[in-house]
């Protein structure tokens, strides 16, 4: 319902997007906002990038990242992203990927993602 409001009514767009993006589970929603052809699923079912992110891709991501206050990683099975996505997110051209992050729940044990958790937490000012 909120997504429909955000698409159909200018007055509701910003508040609806703020609510939709306030608490996200994994990076899948963020990566899935990219244009068709930038993201695909591997044979293992993980999200991966088909190419490096362009400036226009980052502009799309930036429309949502400032809205995110809470991020939970690995709690749900859908949190399947490969290392290529993590590397791209850590190399954001912005000063912080999630500038308004206030809560980070990290349930992944894969060591390749520990640098991402530390990076996210440091850049959020905690």
Q: Using one digit for the tens of pLDDT, what is the confidence trace for 57-68?
A: 999 999 999 999
Q: For residues 22 and 19, what is the distance between their CA atoms, to the nearest angstrom?
A: 5
pTM of the model: 0.78
The total number of residues shown for the chain amounts to 126
Structure tokens at 62: 């930036």
Model pLDDT, residue 78: 44
Q: For residues 98 and 69, what is the distance between their CA atoms, to the nearest angstrom?
A: 8
Residues ≥6 apart with Cβ < 8 Å to 94:
58, 62, 65
Give yes or no for residue 55 having a pLDDT over 90.
yes
Model pLDDT, residue 114: 54
Top mean-pLDDT range of 44-53, 95-104, 107-116 = 44-53
Segment 1-27 mean pLDDT: 80
Burial degree of 40 (CB within 10 A; 0-12, 13-18, 19+): exposed
């Amino acid at each position: 319902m909120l997504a429909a409001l955000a698409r159909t009514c200018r007055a509701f767009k910003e508040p609806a997007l703020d609510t939709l993006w306030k608490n996200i589970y994994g990076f899948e929603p963020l990566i899935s906002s990219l244009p068709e052809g930038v993201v695909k699923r591997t044979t293992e079912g993980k999200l991966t990038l088909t190419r490096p992110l362009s400036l226009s891709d980052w502009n799309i991501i930036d429309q949502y990242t400032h809205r995110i206050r809470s991020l939970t990683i690995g709690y749900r099975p859908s949190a399947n992203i490969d290392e290529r996505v993590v590397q791209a997110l850590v190399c954001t051209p912005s000063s912080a990927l999630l500038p308004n992050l206030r809560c980070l729940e990290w349930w992944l044990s894969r060591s390749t993602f520990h640098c991402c958790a530390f990076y996210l937490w440091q850049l959020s000012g905690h």
